[in-house]
Amino acid sequence: MKGRDLLYNEAQAPWPRTYLFDHPLIQHKLTLIRDKRTSSKEFRELVQEITMLMVYEATRDLPLEETVVETPIAHAHAHILAGKKLAFVPILRAGLGMVAGALQLIPNARVGHVGFYRDPHSLQPVEYYCKLPQDIAERDAFLLDPMLATGGSASAAVALLKEKGARTIRTLHLIAAPEGLHKLLNDHEDISVYVAAVDQRLNEHGYIVPGLGDAGDRLFGTK
């Protein structure tokens, strides 16, 4: 049943450069992680599964090259990935929950880490860590963070990736608030954004409504 506190996914809102997932598996799993009764263990597993499904779609345009492989029967003309260099970059902490799912699909990708926390009063992002692959300038970056709330953290992380020279940047989020999506897209006109849901709004504390609560705390059981 759809209620007022649920999403308007089906509207396929007209966000530019944004891919809004409507796959039933993703929507189902997303509902489970919204549920406050879901344990940290299940939450982690589901975030991993949803991320894997999102990365599957977000890498749809990876280039292929032709090859020949010998099957037990004959030679087959086939395709392999054209060796494009990728980097997954989680925003600490909550983005860490998305790394395993991404690596399950692309195990040879490098992983960079950027740390931002939201100042609880100003809601402004504060950078506290950055460790990226040395050759980030030769890589296509996938920024991972489950929550796009005000958009401050993701926008600052994209700016950091640009400063470090990442070749292209895509961002993946489980849930976005319209405010955060607007900010991210307005601040950065050269990125693509992948979101599983766009919720209603932010509350007075900068939390997404209805959202799923504090993603970091739910992943790591810290509250």
Give residues in contact with ligand URA (CB under 6 A). Answer: 94, 147, 149, 206-208, 211, 214-216
The conformational region for residue 185 under phi > 0 = left, psi -120 to 50 = alpha, else beta, is alpha
Q: How far apart are CA 105 and CA 137, in angstroms?
A: 22
Strand partners, 195: 20, 173
x/- map, 91-130, ligand PRP, by CB under 6 A: xxxx---------------------xxx----x-x-----
How many residues touch ligand PRP under the rule CB under 6 A: the total is 23
Shortest separation between residue 14's beta carbon and ligand URA, angstroms = 23
Phi, psi (5° rounding) for residue 20?
-105, 115
Phi, psi (5° rounding) for residue 192?
-115, 145
x/- map, 55-94, ligand PRP, by CB under 6 A: ------------------------------------xxxx
43 binds, among ligand URA, ligand PRP, none (CB under 5 to 8 A by kind): none
210 binds, among ligand URA, ligand PRP, none (CB under 5 to 8 A by kind): none
Question: Which position has the token pair 């949803």?
Answer: 50
133 binds, among ligand PRP, ligand URA, none (CB under 5 to 8 A by kind): none
* Residue 170: Cβ within 10 Å count: 20
Per-residue tokens: 114: 């950027």
145 binds, among ligand PRP, ligand URA, none (CB under 5 to 8 A by kind): ligand PRP
208 binds, among ligand PRP, ligand URA, none (CB under 5 to 8 A by kind): ligand URA
Binding test (CB under 6 A) with ligand PRP, winner from 58, 147, 193, 196? 147
Binding test (CB under 6 A) with ligand PRP, winner from 45, 49, 145, 199? 145
Burial 11-47 (b: 16+ CB within 10 A, else e): eeeebeebbbbeeeebeebbebbbeeebeeeebbbbb
Q: How far apart are CA 182 and CA 187, in angstroms?
A: 8
Which residues lie near ligand PRP (CB under 6 A)? 91-94, 116-118, 123, 125, 145-154, 180, 206, 215-216
